[in-house]
């Protein structure tokens, strides 16, 4: 009994010690130890380089055997086997020629530019709500709904909107819509030409994407007219393809560059807010008002060999996933009229959007995974799958670690919920999610151009090093999930960069609360 009391006193004494002292007196938790990652990293290196480790002894044996011959002995061996030598040499030359002639042309990203509107276009959350209330179109319930969306949106107070919507009553004319599109497109393209030194007449391929604003003549035709591009330019205008259209444009430009040597391709991604602002009270269509803001990006791609040294990135691969065959996927992001007789047009978002986006992402990464993941991750996934499906073992499915395949992630800043789900499902860190969250906070959802604002953030922070791999993920109506993988050709020096973040990058990252109260 006395021993038991003594033991209880010792336990109480231990519990009263500071946390640091208690940890010193106890065994470390191996599963929480940071050194565990080195075990996994070592396994990854071992399996990924297994082929080289196996071939090295064979090569050493071959060279050791050859080293036993003298020069005269080697010459005699070749002299009496002249036919074999000629045939072997011819086969090697033929095979090498066939390989170099048939391999895909490398596609480089020379540079890109994101448009940053002037201070007159800044639209704080408070100003947004004031303008919505002053329009006298929305009901009290609709205003309260928009307020709740903005409080949870992850937005800051410095997003941008067109002037046509910053007045009462707002103007949604065709002239104002053209004015907005021209301002953002020409602003991004002018900056891109200034940074690269490429002349407009050098552009051989032009791809423009704008989902909802598709006038006649097209936006691509307007760019050709404004910059006096050459008459034989290959011009494409993609419409109705949603926020993932930027990567679709890159994929199209990549395919065109495979068959048109020594060419430059200009890709322009934008969306028009003026023409597509919704002035109704259907909640499913009010969400887009709260999330979408003004922006554009211009990207210069090249297959010219001489652009290898000055380019920032090389396009490694693109993967496109389309779930449009499924009715729910097709209708989850839909432009339609109000259910009543007002005939007001807006874009409705289904309640199933997050589930559908998750399924599309799953399909996309199932295709992308084997192309980019190290062999170690593929083996772990395969072994877990066999154990679960064949041997019926009750184990959790193995989620591949995409952080072993990529150093940087640019996830479409469509909304806070999308970013939260991808961070959890891909097991990413706050550092990996920072470019996407800060882009959403600073610029809002700029549709297909948001991925380039995110990459510009990483460049401004000085994070891009030579050889780094970047994964861009875009989601769009249809429903589509698209991926693009880039490899950095050189380290990006932020002091030599000009992008929308440079004059304020030291202010980021900022803490974004889950709910940010809004008073207007």
The DSSP code sequence of 239-250 is -S-GGGHHHHHH
Q: Residue 185 class from Cβ within 10 Å (0-12 exposed, 13-18 middle, 19+ buried)? A: buried
Q: Which of 121, 209, 237, 243 is catalytic?
A: 243
Query: From CA 381, how far away is CA 397, in angstroms rounded?
Result: 8
What CA–CA distances, in Å, run from 373 to 44, 102, 365, 378? 10, 26, 10, 7
Q: Which of 303, 412, 432, 482 is catalytic?
A: 412
Q: Which of 114, 408, 481, 482 is catalytic?
A: 408
Query: From CA 470, how far away is CA 485, in angstroms rounded?
Result: 6
Between the two ends of the chain, the Cα-to-Cα distance in Å is 69
Q: Which of 322, 410, 482, 499 is catalytic?
A: 322
Confirm whether 262 is a catalytic residue.
no
Confirm whether 445 is a catalytic residue.
yes
Confirm whether 114 is a catalytic residue.
no
Buried b / exposed e across 420-433, counting CB within 10 Å, b at 16+? ebbbeebebeeebb
Confirm whether 408 is a catalytic residue.
yes
Q: Which of 445, 481, 482, 499 is catalytic?
A: 445
Helix locations, 315-429, DSSP H:
327-331, 353-372, 375-389, 416-425
**Locus of tokens 């007449």:** 201
Buried b / exposed e across 285-322, counting CB within 10 Å, b at 16+? bbbbbbbbbbbbbbbbbbbbeebeeebbbebbebbbbb
Query: From CA 11, how far away is CA 415, in angstroms rounded?
Result: 50
Which residues are identified as catalytic? Answer: 243, 322, 408, 412, 445
């Amino acid at each position: 009994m006395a021993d038991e009391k003594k033991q209880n006193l010792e336990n109480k004494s231990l519990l009263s010690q500071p946390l640091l002292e208690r940890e010193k007196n106890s065994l470390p938790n191996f599963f929480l130890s940071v050194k565990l990652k080195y075990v996994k990293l070592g396994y990854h290196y071992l399996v990924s380089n297994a082929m080289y480790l196996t071939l090295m002894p064979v090569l050493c044996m071959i060279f050791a055997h050859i080293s036993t011959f003298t020069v005269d002995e080697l010459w005699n061996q070749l002299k009496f086997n002249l036919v074999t030598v000629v045939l072997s040499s011819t086969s090697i030359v033929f095979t090498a020629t066939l390989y170099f002639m048939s391999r895909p042309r490398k596609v480089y990203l020379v540079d890109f530019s994101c448009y940053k509107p002037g201070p007159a276009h800044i639209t704080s959350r408070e100003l947004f709500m004031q303008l919505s209330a002053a329009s006298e179109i929305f009901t009290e319930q609709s205003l309260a709904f928009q307020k709740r969306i903005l409080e949870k949106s992850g937005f800051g107070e410095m997003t941008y909107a067109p002037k046509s919507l910053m007045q009462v009553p707002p103007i949604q004319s065709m002239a104002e819509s053209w004015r907005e599109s021209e301002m953002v497109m020409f602003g991004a393209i002018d900056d891109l030409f200034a940074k690269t030194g490429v002349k407009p007449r050098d552009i051989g391929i032009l791809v423009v994407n704008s989902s909802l604003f598709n006038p006649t003549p097209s936006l691509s035709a307007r760019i050709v007219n404004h910059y006096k591009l050459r008459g034989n330019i290959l011009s494409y205008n993609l419409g109705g393809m949603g926020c993932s259209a930027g990567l679709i444009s890159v994929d199209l430009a990549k395919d065109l560059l495979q068959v048109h040597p020594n060419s430059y391709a200009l890709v322009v991604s934008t969306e028009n807010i003026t023409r597509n602002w919704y002035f109704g009270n259907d909640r499913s269509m009010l969400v887009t008002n709260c999330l979408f803001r003004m922006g554009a990006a211009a990207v210069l791609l090249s297959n010219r060999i001489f652009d290898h040294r000055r380019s920032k990135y090389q396009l490694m691969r693109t993967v496109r996933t389309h779930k449009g065959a499924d009715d729910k996927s097709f209708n989850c992001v839909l432009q339609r009229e109000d259910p009543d007789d007002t005939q007001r047009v807006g874009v409705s978002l289904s309640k199933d959007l997050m589930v559908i986006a998750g399924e599309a992402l799953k399909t996309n990464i199932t295709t992308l995974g084997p192309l980019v993941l190290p062999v170690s991750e593929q083996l772990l996934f395969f072994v877990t799958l066999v154990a679960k499906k064949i041997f019926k073992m009750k184990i959790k499915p193995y989620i591949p670690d995409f952080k072993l395949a990529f150093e940087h992630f640019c996830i479409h800043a469509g909304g806070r919920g999308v970013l939260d789900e991808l961070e959890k499902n891909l097991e990413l860190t706050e550092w990996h999610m920072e470019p996407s969250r800060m882009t959403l906070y600073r610029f809002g959802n700029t549709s297909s151009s948001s991925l380039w604002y995110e990459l510009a953030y990483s460049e401004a922070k000085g994070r891009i090093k030579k050889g780094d791999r970047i994964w861009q993920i875009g989601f769009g109506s249809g429903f589509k999930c698209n991926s693009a993988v880039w490899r950095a050709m050189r380290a990006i020096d932020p002091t030599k960069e000009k992008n929308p973040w440079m004059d304020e990058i030291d202010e980021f990252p900022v803490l974004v609360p889950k709910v940010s109260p809004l008073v207007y």
